[in-house]
Amino acid sequence: MRPDEPVRRSVPPPGEGAEGIGGRTGGGPASQPLKPPKRFYALDAFRGVAALSIVFWHWQHFFFRGRVPGPGARPWHGFFLLFYGYGQLAVELFFALSGFIFFWLYAQPIADRAVIARDFFLRRFSRLVPLHLVTLFLVTLGQLAYRHHFGSDFVYPNNDLQHFVPNLLLVSAWGLGYSHSFNGPIWSVSVEIFLYLLFFLLCRTLPIRALVLLAVSALGYFLLAQWEMPIGRGMIAFFLGGCVYRAYAWSLKSGAASKLATWLPWATAALWAGAILAVYTPSFHLDAWLWIKAHPLVATIGPAVLLFPVTILTLALAETQRGAFWKRTAYLGDLSYSLYLLHFPLQLAFVLVAGWLSLGRSFFSSPAALVLFFVVLLPVSWVSYRFLEVPAQRWLRG
C-alpha cells in the first residue's frame, strides 16, 4: 500500500452483526470470542515505519550523478543499516498491509453488493490522486530546473511526454518494460490501482477463499519471475495479506485468537531477531548480501511470504486482545502517504539548493543533512495531510 487511509472501520460488514465477529471486546472467557477493533492503530504505525524505511533506502539518491549511482557514506550508517540496506522491502510490507485492510473493510460488502464500484473507486481516487497530481507537477518543474543546472535528470530518466501520460493516469507500472520516470516511487501506487481493480473483480465473481487468494498470489510470482512485471510484486504480497485477514477472522470466530495472541508474538520476535542479527552481524551480513545477489527474486519476496504476514497477524491479534495501546503512534500512518510521495520531490529540492550553495554531494553524508531533511519532511507531510489530502477527500467524496 502504498500508504493509504487510516486502518479503521466505522460499521461492521454485512453478516457480522452490530458488534462484529464474535461478540464483545477482549479479555473475557474463551466462550465469548474477541471482536475486531474499529481501527488498527498498530497497523497504522507499522505503515508509517514502512514509509520511513523507504526514505532511508532512497538516501542513495543524493549520490547519483544523473541516473548513475555514485559513492557516498550514509549518515549513521551502522545504526540505520537495516533501513539503508533493506528498506526497499518495505514496499512488500505496504502491499501486504493493503491486502489485510481491504479484505477486512471491503471484501464481504463488495461480494454482497453492499458497496458498489462507483463508491469504492471514488474513495480510492479521492485518497490517492490529489497528492499524486501535486507531486507530479513539482517533480516536473524540479527536473527542468535540475536539467538546466546540471545538464541531466536527477535519478529517474525518461521525463518526457511519452512517460508523463502513463504517470498522470497512474498506469505507468502496469506493463512490460517498465522504466522509472518523474516521481519514481509512484510506481507502487500505480500497482496498487491495478490491485484495487483486480480485488474488486475477484470479490464480485469468486468466493473469498484462502485457496483463491493463494492462487492469485502464485500468479503474481509467475509474472514477476517470467517478465519482472512490477504488478507481480503487488499481487504476491497483497493477496497474502488477504490470507492473513482470513486467518485473523477465523481465529476470532473459532475462539483460537487468545491462544494465538499468547505464543505468536514470541515467534514473530524470533523471526525479527534472526533478521536483525543477519543484518548487524558483519559475517552474517556479508553472507546474506552475497546470497541476496545470487537469489534476488527469492530475497525480494521472502519477507512478503513469511515475516510481514506473521507480523501483521501478531499486531492485529495483540490490538484485538489488549486494546489501542498503539494509539499515540497512529499519526505515522496518517502521514505515510505524504512521506512516501513527497520525499523524492524534497530530495530534488535539497540537491538543487545544495548545488546553488556549492555545498557538494558530500554534505549528504553528514548527520546534519539527515536531521535537516527529516525536520523539513515531517512537517511538510503533516501540512500535506491536514490541508491537502483530507480536504480533497471530503470535497471529492461530497
User: Helix/strand/coil (H, E, C) string of 228-240?
Assistant: CCHHHHHHHHHHH
| One-letter amino acid for residue 124 of the chain | R
In tens, the pLDDT along 238-248 reads: 999 999 999 99
Using pLDDT thresholds of 50, 70 and 90, give the confidence band for residue 32.
low
What average pLDDT does the structure give for the chain? 87
CB atoms within 10 A of CB 360: 10
Q: Is the model's pLDDT at 392 over the cut of 60?
A: yes
The predicted pLDDT at position 68 comes to: 81
The predicted pLDDT at position 209 comes to: 93
Residues 6+ apart with CB under 8 A from 235: 195, 198, 216, 217, 219, 220, 221, 223
Q: Is the model's pLDDT at 122 over the cut of 60?
A: yes
What three-state secondary structure class fits 247?
helix
Please report, to the nearest 10 degrees, the dihedral formed by the alpha carbons of residues 133, 134, 140, 146 taken in order: -150
* Percent of residues, the chain, with pLDDT higher than 70: 87
Cell numbers 552474517 correspond to what residue? 284
> Measured between alpha carbons, how far is residue 103 from residues 19, 50, 213, 241 in Å?
18, 20, 11, 8
State how far the Cα of 30 lies from the Cα of 20, in Å rounded to an integer: 16
CB atoms within 10 A of CB 370: 18
The predicted pLDDT at position 13 comes to: 40
Residues in the chain: 398
Among 326, 283, 279, which Cα is nearest to 307's? 279
Among 18, 88, 19, 22, which Cα is nearest to 248's? 22
pTM equals: 0.89
The predicted pLDDT at position 289 comes to: 64
What three-state secondary structure class fits 44?
helix
The values of phi and psi at residue 68, to 5°, are -105, 125
In tens, the pLDDT along 246-292 reads: 999 999 999 999 899 999 999 999 999 988 888 888 776 666 667 66
SS3 readout for 14-55: CCCCCCCCCCCCCCCCCCCCCCCCCECHHHHHHHHHHHHHHH
**Mean pLDDT score, 171-176:** 89
The predicted pLDDT at position 395 comes to: 95
Domain residue ranges in the chain? 41-397
Most confident among 22-36, 170-184, 336-350 (mean pLDDT): 336-350
- The answer to whether the CB of 30 falls within 8 A of the CB of 122 is no
State how far the Cα of 19 lies from the Cα of 38, in Å rounded to an integer: 10
**Mean pLDDT score, 330-354:** 95
The predicted pLDDT at position 22 comes to: 33
Q: Is the model's pLDDT at 303 over the cut of 90?
A: no
- The answer to whether the CB of 260 falls within 8 A of the CB of 251 is yes
